[in-house]
Structures are given as C-alpha cells and as structure tokens.
C-alpha cells in the first residue's frame, strides 16, 4: 500500500537530499515549493528541475507574498551580507515566520492528500542561526499538527520529519551522493545571478563549499 508524504522542496541542497531520503524510505511524494517574492528566482527553476529529476509527479508551487511584511534581506531591498565571519546572532537573511508559514501550508497539503508525514530540510548544525530551524521548534510544530487537523478526529497520524536535523553539511552531502543525488541541479546561494550561478561568498555558499570540501570533491553547481 502506498504511503504518502509532503516534502518542502526549495531546490537547495538540503531539501533535495531530504526528498531523496524520503523516496528511499518508500514514500510517494507530494512536493511543495513557494514563490515568496524571494530575490533569487533561480530557486524556482531549481525546484522544478529537482522534482522532475527525482520523478515527483505532484509538485505544487504556492504563491505567497512575504513582501507584504518585509523585514528580511531575502524579501526586502536589503543587501545580502558577504564574507561574514560566523556569528551567533540572527542574520538579516532570516525571514520572519517563514518556516511556520511553510509548515502550515504543508499541513493543509498533507491533510488534503492523506499524507502521513511532512519532510522538511531543517538543520541545526551547519545552519545560519535561524530560530525556526531548531529541534525544539519542530517539536512544537508537531504538537500543532497533532491538534490542528482532521487527523485529530480520525486518529490518522501526521509526522513532521526532519531527517537531516543533526547532520553537518558534509554528512548531508555524503548521504545524498550515496542516494545518487546530482547536486549540480541544486541552488543554495542567497544571491544567485539570473543564470542560477552562485556567489560563493554568502553564509549559505560558504557552508555548502565546506561540505563538499569535507567529502574531498568539488561542488558540481555553477559559480560565477
């Protein structure tokens, strides 16, 4: 019997790896991506490419306008920081409420498709310091999922799965490579150009490049 799951798919390295892991677990996937006024439209091209390559037939792109609120370098007219030293505070690339909004849409999608899991590529090791990537945040959202939906009444469970939560970037890439993921398809950069070429200097690029270096291989994605 088919078991269905929703996967939040950005077209980046993390969510692509998570989708490959979910497929390896035997799930039929319903992929959900967002067009949220993000500066890097190249992400959308990447998520379509990844969904096709992984053979995910049901892929929906929700239009949401986070510019309505602003407050982030990814949705407002603020420069993406480059060559930043690792710091502990929340960076300007943080988008207020983003993962909560993404998970709430995934919850609706899971309910309508009869899915028993939602896969999300959050990570609390090599990450940018966003509060909504931490395991305690995911646990809190699990409780919302337990109570928010029809599942409450039917007893059909819905699990939020974050399989790369405790992996470092090198381990994530190693896992994906073992599953045959072609990382040249993925875009991680916060400031990719119109052709999807990464900057190599933002927080996100630096973590990614270090992860490939840890595996002793060159990142196959295009850099400018």
Binding site for a copy of itself (CB under 8 A): 60, 62-66, 68-71, 89-90, 94-101, 103-105, 107-109, 111-112, 131-132, 134, 136-137, 140-141, 143-144, 146-150, 152-153
Instruction: Give the residue with the Cβ less far from a copy of itself, 111 or 193.
Output: 111
CB atoms within 10 A of CB 157: 10
At its nearest, how many Å lie between a copy of itself and the CB of residue 74? 12
Tell me whether residue 90 or residue 217 sits nearer to a copy of itself (CB atom).
90
Give the nearest distance from C-beta 27 to a copy of itself in angstroms.
18
Min dist CB 165 to a copy of itself, Å, is 14
Rounded to the nearest whole angstrom, what is the least distance from the CB of residue 34 to a copy of itself in the complex? 11
C-alpha span between 71 and 191 (Å, rounded)? 17
Helix (H) or strand (E) holding 5: strand 3-8
Residue of 9, 75, 81 whose CA lies nearest to 45: 9
SS3 content of the chain, % helix, strand, coil (to 5): 40, 15, 45
What does each C-alpha distance from 206 to 86, 96, 190, 198 come to in angstroms?
Answer: 10, 23, 11, 11
Question: Which residue lies nearer to a copy of itself by CB, 113 or 215?
Answer: 113
- Indicate the residue among 134 and 174 with the shorter CB distance to a copy of itself: 134
Between 44 and 214, CB nearer to a copy of itself: 44
Residue 50 and residue 183 in contact, taking contact as beta carbons nearer than 8 Å:
no
């Amino acid at each position: 019997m088919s078991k269905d799951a929703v996967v939040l798919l950005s077209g980046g390295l993390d969510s692509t790896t998570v989708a490959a892991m979910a497929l390896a677990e035997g799930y039929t996937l319903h992929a959900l991506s967002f067009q949220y006024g993000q500066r890097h439209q190249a992400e959308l091209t990447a998520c379509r490419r990844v969904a096709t390559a992984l053979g995910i037939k049901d892929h929906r792109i929700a239009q949401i306008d986070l510019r309505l609120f602003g407050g982030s370098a990814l949705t407002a007219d603020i420069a993406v920081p480059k060559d930043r030293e690792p710091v502990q505070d929340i960076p300007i690339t943080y988008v207020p409420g983003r993962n909560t909004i993404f998970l709430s849409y995934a919850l609706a999608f899971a309910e309508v498709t009869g899915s028993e899991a939602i896969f999300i590529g959050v990570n609390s090791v090599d990450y940018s310091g966003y509060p909504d990537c931490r395991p305690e945040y995911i646990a809190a959202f699990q409780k919302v999922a337990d109570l928010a939906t029809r599942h409450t009444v039917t007893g059909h469970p819905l699990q939020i799965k974050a399989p790369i939560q405790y992996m470092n970037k090198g381990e994530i890439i190693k896992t994906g490579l073992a599953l045959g993921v072609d990382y040249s398809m993925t875009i991680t950069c916060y400031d990719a150009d119109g052709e999807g070429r990464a900057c190599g200097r933002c927080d996100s690029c630096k973590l990614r490049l270090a992860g490939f270096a840890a595996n002793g291989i060159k990142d196959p994605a295009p850099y400018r």
